[in-house]
Amino acid sequence: MQLGELQNQIARFDHRGVSVIAISVDEQAASLAMIERLGLTFDLGSDPQQSVVKAFGVQNPDTRELAIHAVYIVAADGEIFYRKVGRRRPVSAELIDAIDAFEGVYPRTDEQIQPRRRINVAYPENNFQALITVAGITRLPESVDAIAFSRIYSIRIKGGLDDSLVAFKALTKNSVDAGQQDLFDTAAWLTRLVFFQDTPEALEAGRLLNKRLARIRELEAEFEASQSPDSKDEILHTLAQARAGLSLTRAEISNNADAWNLRSAKTTLRSYREVAGASMNVRVERGDVRAERGDVRAERGDVRVERGDVPAAREKVPEDAP
């Protein structure tokens, strides 16, 4: 299950006297940042050496640096009465049902379920944010090793998402001259190459969406600053037109979401950004973070990635290119 979804239902576990403990293979600084961002009120442990993961036999056989997703429910006497190991993550309701069934009180009738609140999710929260971010990046940051990046790209296009995340984590750790924004831009550039080389119209829609959003913000600021009733009326008319254009662009993106594979692009970008953010938190914790743009190593030259159909890592992509 996702941690945000679990937090959303934590009161139901508390009501049953159940303690919830999540374990991550990330280092402590990354877990602490996750607790703060999601507002978690249950324990999130760090197991970077995978001692617990190995003890339960859920180390990923294909990518040893990761764990297979697993859920265990343990009774007070130590009996494991529920386990779920695999790719599909159960939601909290399934676990609640298992607990009630074990206690012999299923279905439970004395519980008033509260309406679900909005779950905090990492950026990008939606397809629009993802497309704007990817469309706005035109090159790999200079502070990131282009050859190491090309290897990650090669792994990812062969379908190795988990392996690419592990390699990306190593890249973020080794890119000591890269600040957080550089690492986020690297995540966006990788997502762009993987998903949008053959759909330039998607990138154009993302750029147009960002342009129209900026125009609306500009008009709203003008309206607030204007003291003239006539001027305000004129701005409102222009603003209505701008919002109509925005609606058309959003509709185009929504209608093409499946064709452009936006959902996968969004979750992929989010995953790489999460890795980048976690690496930065660890570097901050260790005190080895350098200035955002200072102390940058010498130019590495125009190094191209391994596949010939990928734009040069140091070359700015033309506006009409994917």
294 lies in some domain:
no
- Identify whether residues 93 and 161 lie together within a single domain: no
Q: What is the CATH number of the domain that holds 13?
A: 3.40.30.10
66 lies in some domain:
yes
The rounded distance, in Å, linking the Cα atoms of 143 and 181 is 11
Chosen domain end from 88, 103, 118: 103
312 lies in some domain:
no
Tokens matching residue 279: 């690496």
Question: What is the three-class DSSP state of 82?
Answer: strand
* Cis peptide bond upstream of 311, omega within 30: no
70 lies in some domain:
yes
- Identify whether residues 83 and 145 lie together within a single domain: no
From the CB of residue 223, how many other CB atoms can be counted at a distance below 10 Å? 16
pLDDT tens across 147-159, in order? Answer: 999 999 999 998 7
pLDDT tens across 246-269, in order? Answer: 999 999 999 999 999 999 999 899
Mean predicted confidence (pLDDT) in 31-57:
85
The DSSP code sequence of 107-173 is SP-S--PPPPPPPP-PSP-SHHHHHHHHHT--S--TTS-HHHHHHHHHHHHTT-HHHHHHHHHHHHH
The rounded distance, in Å, linking the Cα atoms of 161 and 157 is 9
- Identify whether residues 147 and 278 lie together within a single domain: yes
30 lies in some domain:
yes
Asked whether the beta carbons of 249 and 208 are under 8 A apart, the reply is yes
- Identify whether residues 256 and 145 lie together within a single domain: yes
Query: Which residue in this structure is represented by tokens 């979804």?
Result: 5
78 lies in some domain:
yes
Give the domain extent around 171. Answer: 127-286
Can you give the pLDDT at residue 33?
75
- Identify whether residues 132 and 95 lie together within a single domain: no
82 lies in some domain:
yes
- Identify whether residues 282 and 145 lie together within a single domain: yes
- Identify whether residues 277 and 134 lie together within a single domain: yes
The confidence band for 134, taking pLDDT boundaries of 50, 70 and 90, is: very high
SS (H, E, C) 227-290: CCHHHHHHHHHHHHHHHHHHHHHHHHHHHCCCCCCHHHHHHHHHHHHHHHHHHHHHHHHHCCCC
Domains held by the chain: number: 2
Does the CA dihedral 191-192-193-198 come out positive or negative?
positive
Can you give the pLDDT at residue 86?
79
The confidence band for 91, taking pLDDT boundaries of 50, 70 and 90, is: confident
* Cis peptide bond upstream of 107, omega within 30: yes
- Identify whether residues 14 and 88 lie together within a single domain: yes
Mean predicted confidence (pLDDT) in 219-226:
93
Can you give the pLDDT at residue 301?
32
Nearest to 203 by CA among 59, 318, 54: 318
- Identify whether residues 83 and 134 lie together within a single domain: no
- Identify whether residues 145 and 256 lie together within a single domain: yes
Question: What is the three-class DSSP state of 192?
Answer: helix
Mean predicted confidence (pLDDT) in 96-124:
77
321 lies in some domain:
no
Nearest to 130 by CA among 291, 266, 286: 266
Asked whether the beta carbons of 322 and 197 are under 8 A apart, the reply is yes
The rounded distance, in Å, linking the Cα atoms of 253 and 201 is 10
- Identify whether residues 99 and 141 lie together within a single domain: no
Residues of the chain with pLDDT > 90, as a percent, come to: 47
Can you give the pLDDT at residue 283?
73
pTM above 0.85, yes or no: no
Chosen domain end from 255, 271, 286: 286
- Identify whether residues 96 and 178 lie together within a single domain: no
Q: Is 172 exposed, middle or buried (0-12, 13-18, 19+ CB in 10 A)?
A: buried
Nearest to 187 by CA among 195, 199, 198, 177: 195
pLDDT at 115 over 80: no
